[in-house]
Amino acid sequence: MSTALAPARTDERLTGVPGEPLDHRRYRRMRFIRRFEETLLQLFEEGALNGTTHACIGQEADAVAVTEHLTEGDHIFSNHRCHGHYLAHSGDALGLMAEIMGKEAGVCRGLGGSQHICAPGFKSNGVQGGIVPNAAGIALANQLSGNDAVSVVFIGDGTLGEGVVYETLNMASLWKLPLLVVCEDNRWAQSTPIAANMAGSFPGRFSAFGVPVRSVDSTDVAEISQAAGQEIAAVRAGEGPRVLLIHTYRLCHHSKSDDERPEQEIAERWLVEPLVVHGRRLSDSDRLRIDDEVETALGEVVATARALP
């Protein structure tokens, strides 16, 4: 069905240099997402961008970890906070930047914008919850086709408010669909703390439907990746749907400038954010070098994107 508009444009300085150690690669890829988002927020402040955006600052490890285990034929459905997922999947910084700038060279020709992205193996939509059955349908297609592809859907903690999520968990479980739900619990939904949004048991929300849940309370890309790898392998092996529940934190505001969370809480989380946690595994000089490479590459992307018609 899908016919790509153009091959995704990637840059090794952003997505990983052949032969570099895994730790470097992971750091680079997270740094790439982080700096993309920060750049975007800056462009918004400059007034260079239209509309709105939801940055995933603080959650970069999730995207990088999960996509490490995906392969050609797998599919990601993402939500409003989709940039990290998309960049980890495709590396296509220019396509996404151009999209958010509303340019014709954008990955959806400027039609979709920040929340509505499509590229081979990837889609997102900005309506909470509804993408979950969509991802399950893709999983059903894979099951019917008899391939071993995995359909992954990213949702937030707040999205567990939407009933269609449960309808889908039930159906996916009944039909043993090859679906992985990645629930990024960043403790907040827009302005609402999880305590005001969710009663009962977080993992119980899934296990009640016979869907196994793997919880990871971590911002460490290595730890998340290990869990993601096992879950994806199980789904790929035909064991039915599974949930990877990642307890993480969003360090930036929800969308553009709305943040009323306790400063202390945010400050504490900056101490354990993915780049800090994983960055320790690299030498200072390697980190600085990679930071630099990412900066240069991203600078080129922004310049190119700005110059686009």
Partner 1 sequence: MIFAKELGDTLRGALTDDQRVVLLGEDIADPYGGAFKVTRGLSTAFPARVRTTPISEGAIAGVSAGLALAGYRPIAEVMFGDFLTLMFDQVVNHITKYQTMYADQATCPVIIRAATGGHRGYGPTHSQSLEKHFLGVPHLRVVAASLYHDPRVVFADFLRRDEPVLYVEHKLLYPQHLTLPVNGMVGDLIATSSGMLPTVRLSAVPREDCTVSVLAYGYQAHLAAKIVERLAIEEEIFAELIVPAQIAPMDWAPVLSSVTATRSLVTVEEGAGGWSWGAEAASVVSRELFGTLRRPVDVVASEPTIIPSSKAKESAVLVGSAQIEAAIRRAS
Ligand X SMILES: Cc1ncc(C[n+]2csc(CCOP(=O)(O)OP(=O)(O)O)c2C)c(N)n1
Binding site residues, partner 1, CB under 8 A: 1-5, 50-52, 75, 77, 99-100, 102-103, 106, 108-116, 118-119, 123, 125-142, 144, 151, 158-164, 167-168, 170-171, 174-175, 189-192, 196-198, 258, 260
Applying CB under 6 A, which part among 20-28, 95-103, 155-163, 229-237 lies near ligand X?
155-163
- Residue 26 near ligand X by CB under 6 A: no
Distance of alpha carbon 184 from alpha carbon 81, whole angstroms: 10
At how many degrees (to 10) do helices 93-100 and 83-90 cross?
A: 150
Q: Which is nearer to partner 1, 117 or 290 (CB)?
A: 117
Give residues with Cβ within 8 angstroms of 307, minimum separation 6. none
Least spacing, CB of residue 226 vs a copy of itself, in Å: 26
Give residues with Cβ within 8 angstroms of 13, minimum separation 6. 28, 293, 294, 296, 297
Least spacing, CB of residue 138 vs ligand X, in Å: 20
- Residue 10 near a copy of itself by CB under 8 A: no
**Out of partner 1, a copy of itself, ligand X, none, which partner does residue 50 contact, by CB within 5 to 8 A per kind?**
partner 1
Q: Scanning the structure block, which residue is given the tokens 């929800």?
A: 254
Give residues with Cβ within 8 angstroms of 297, minimum separation 6. 11, 13, 14, 32, 93
**Out of a copy of itself, partner 1, Mg ion, none, which partner does residue 186 contact, by CB within 5 to 8 A per kind?**
Mg ion
**Out of a copy of itself, partner 1, Mg ion, none, which partner does residue 283 contact, by CB within 5 to 8 A per kind?**
none
Distance of alpha carbon 191 from alpha carbon 298, whole angstroms: 31
Least spacing, CB of residue 56 vs a copy of itself, in Å: 25
Range 243-262, binding ligand X (CB under 6 A):
250, 254
- Residue 163 near a copy of itself by CB under 8 A: yes
SS3 (DSSP) at 136: helix
Q: Contact 203/213 with Cβ under 8 angstroms?
A: yes
- Residue 196 near ligand X by CB under 6 A: no
Distance of alpha carbon 90 from alpha carbon 14, whole angstroms: 11
CA distances from 167 to 118, 132, 142, 145, 151 (A): 25, 9, 20, 23, 17
Contact residues: ligand X, CB under 6 A: 80-81, 126-129, 156-159, 186, 188-190, 250, 254
